[in-house]
Chain A
Amino acid sequence: MKKLVMGMIGICTIVLILFGTQHYLASKTGTNVSSNKVLNLYNWGDYIDPELLKKFTKETGYKVSYETFDSNEAMYTKIKQGGTSYDLTVPSDYMIQKMKREHLLLPLDHSKLTGLKNYDTRFLNQSFDHNNQYSLPYFWGTLGIIYNDQYINAKDIQHWDDLWSPKFKNQIMLIDSARDALAIALITQDKSVNTKSRADLAAAQAKLTALMPNVKAIIADEIKMYMAQNEAAIAVTYSGEASEALSHNKHLHYVVPSEGSNLWFDNVVMPKTAKHQAAAYAFLNFMSDPKNAAQNAEYIGYATPNKKAKVLLPKAIRQDKQFYPNDQTVKHLQVYDDLGQLWTEKYNDAFLEFKMSQK
């Protein structure tokens, strides 16, 4: 009993010390949300150069409170349910469409945006947000194939259909995402990645099931780590993952098949919960400044949609065909639409059945 009481007193003391430390740190960094000069940024973890946040605070006086999420859907659930006051967040394309449809976003006042002209017009006015009423592009990328030249000949793997080659038995790591996996099968069958035809989807599922003998694992964010460690010869994943993996293993290469693939965007939007709109516009303008955008692109390693920023990047990066594909390839890329509840479920059920078909 004495020990129990002592333990409790000990814990309470530590808790008090921690409270003190927290208070001290908060007053030092000024992350007190109650103050008016603040921006509540809701972003993926480590998805902005922290130096830029410091610079933003210095230039504009707005302190940034940075909260993170790990998936579009998780972010959506939180914003939809309310109780939060995020001023800006960074969803992907299809999610913007979904949030827009459900009136979770505030339209952007273009007269307050100073950097709109810096963006590459190829990445504006996309199907998920016509005329960029609600969003500004943050990063973009593709879906493609990483291969390891120690095990694979470059010429053997240039197209999606090559994945089905019997040579690659048990060598492919596939991204754990219904949309992406089915998109590959749909593209090889010349169908739209947004198809709402039962026959197309069934055919795609059948085709995907035929890929199973070649599939080594179905995983997500870990692909970059596994590829960097030579765990598999081939992986199907996003360009963002790829650039991370390539920077750690010189044997890796990334291809975007010329017959078509997915083009994805992460755009900045203002959710309806925004309480500090002036700060939000200041941040949007700050991030569309070419110098800042270029610094961010170098830090993250993704492709920037800001054409003036791209010019400022080192030559090796901006001329890299793997991550800045030529116009010809870009033309064949397709953006995901939000499929709506019913079809999202159908795609997911098809993918789940595919996953369960493993031996």
Chain B
Amino acid sequence: MPKSKQQRQLFYIIPYGIWLVLFVIAPLILLLFQSLTTQNGHFTLQNYATYFASGTYLLMTFNSVWYAFLITIITLVISYPMAYLLNRLKQKHFWLLLVILPTWINLLLKTYAFIGLLSKTGTVNNFIGLMGIAPQQLLFSNWSFLLVAAYIEIPFMILPIFNSLAEINPRLAQASRDLGANQWQTLRRVILPLSMPGIKAGIQAVFIPSLSLFMITRLIGGNRVITLGTAIEEHFLVTQNWRLGSTIGVILIVAMVITMVLTRERARKSSRNRG
């Protein structure tokens, strides 16, 4: 028996392992190497010193984490009821496809559409103008940035939550009601814990990429919010200072690993409860 398991594992690890070595570990080594050397190839911690000594970068790091957190919360709050309600529809997979469909339109184009919608003479202002409200400054504000970022991330949150909700046996909810729980209690004590793996997958799929958002920070936020993604972009392209860019990249990866470890810990506990 263990032998067959070994064979199985070998079969899985070959394609995945090749990918890991070539496209993850090799670039990671390159990144570490660049962040730890000077132009002449000597070992240095200077780049890290620059990063941690600079108030600008620390503030930026704080900004990135804070906004990624906000984006994740907003998407979760919108997506969970959505996924829950979608699950109760007949033909739910059809409706789910309709949620995915908008993600296939180019991101830059959608952002331009938002500019057209939210600008001072845009559709939204024309619409509220009909109700007698004067045109508002909607763009270049934190909330418009959050709105567009959440818009982009919502499908990535709905999909995993939907999947784990679909898995839940409807009889469990029924049983809970039979035992006298009201709707709210059923949701909180039965449905929510059972859909936890989906919520976690969704948070990871949204929070991690949100840390390095850069394009909409400029287009919609008018560079009022500056994230680490922007700084890396700049160091790799404009200043061509790949060493400092790599340093920030390494710091992002460390931040991601910390988030992973924190969420993993809880995942184990909850699975023990269930098992």
Contact = CB atoms under 8 A, between A and B. Distances in A.
A and B touching (C-beta < 8 Å)?
yes
A152 interface: no
B148 interface: no
Contacts of A222: 112, 115, 218-219
A80 to B, nearest CB: 9
A77 interface: yes
Contacts of A345: 239, 241
A352 B234 contact: yes
A345 B231 CA distance: 12
22 contacts: A77-B236, A216-B222, A217-B223, A218-B222, A219-B218, A219-B219, A219-B223, A222-B112, A225-B112, A229-B121, A231-B120, A341-B239, A341-B241, A344-B238, A344-B239, A344-B240, A352-B226, A352-B234, A353-B56, A355-B226, A356-B59, A356-B226
10 closest A-B pairs (Cβ-Cβ)? A217-B222, A218-B223, A73-B237, A229-B119, A217-B140, A348-B239, A345-B239, A231-B119, A230-B121, A356-B56
Given A73-B237, A222-B218, 11 more contacts: A216-B140, A219-B222, A225-B115, A230-B119, A230-B120, A344-B240, A348-B238, A348-B239, A352-B56, A356-B56, A358-B223
B32 interface: no
B259 to A, nearest CB: 24
Nearest to A353: B56
Contacts of B236: 77
B197 interface: no
Contacts of B189: none
Interface in B82-118: 112, 115-116
A126 interface: no
A320 to B, nearest CB: 26
A152 to B, nearest CB: 15
Interface string A63-94: 00000000101101100000000000000000
Interface in A281-336: none
A122 B241 CA distance: 35
B15 to A, nearest CB: 16
Contacts of B241: 341, 345
Contacts of B238: 73, 178, 344, 348
Contacts of B223: 176, 217-219, 355, 358
A341 B240 CA distance: 8
Interface in B111-135: 112, 115-116, 119-122
A220 B115 CA distance: 14
B59, B239, B241 pick with most chain A CB within 10 angstroms: B239
Interface of B: 56, 59-60, 112, 115-116, 119-122, 139-140, 218-219, 222-224, 226, 231, 234, 236-241
A144 B240 CA distance: 27
Interface in A246-299: none
A176 B226 contact: no
A76 B236 CA distance: 11
Contacts of A353: 56
Nearest to B115: A225
Interface of A: 71, 73-74, 76-77, 173, 176, 178, 216-220, 222, 225-226, 229-231, 341, 344-345, 348, 352-353, 355-356, 358
Contacts of B140: 216-217
Contacts of A220: 218
- With most chain A CB atoms within 10 A of its CB, the pick from B218, B238, B240 is B238
B181 to A, nearest CB: 35
Nearest to B59: A356
A157 to B, nearest CB: 20
A107 B222 CA distance: 41
Contact of B119 (A73, A77, A176, A226): A226
Contacts of B122: 229
A94 B211 CA distance: 33
Contacts of A76: 240
B66 to A, nearest CB: 14
Nearest to A229: B119
A73 B240 contact: yes
Contact of A217 (B112, B116, B224): B224
A216 B119 CA distance: 13
A71 B237 CA distance: 9
B237 to A, nearest CB: 4
Contact of B218 (A77, A176, A178, A348): A176
B106 to A, nearest CB: 13
A178 B236 CA distance: 15
Contacts of A216: 140, 222
B117 to A, nearest CB: 11
A216 to B, nearest CB: 6
A84 to B, nearest CB: 17
Nearest to A170: B137
Nearest to B242: A77
A173 B120 CA distance: 14
B224 A358 contact: yes
Contacts of B224: 217, 358
Contacts of B116: 229
Contacts of B56: 352-353, 356
A77 B237 contact: yes
B174 to A, nearest CB: 28
Nearest to A217: B222
